[in-house]
């Protein structure tokens, strides 16, 4: 994910959090 651009980094982080929340839930 480091190769991703800083702008996409935020989007990826938000998406990752949503994915984790879905998995935990």
Q: What is the pLDDT of residues 1-25, one digit of tens each?
A: 455 556 666 777 888 888 888 887 7
The pLDDT score that the predictor gives to residue 1 is 46
The pLDDT score that the predictor gives to residue 9 is 64
The pLDDT score that the predictor gives to residue 7 is 60
Burial of 18 (0-12, 13-18, 19+ CB in 10 A): exposed
The pLDDT score that the predictor gives to residue 23 is 83
A 10 A CB-CB count for 12 gives 13
């Amino acid at each position: 994910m480091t190769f991703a651009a800083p702008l996409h980094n935020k989007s990826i982080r938000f998406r990752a959090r949503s994915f984790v929340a879905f998995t935990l839930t």
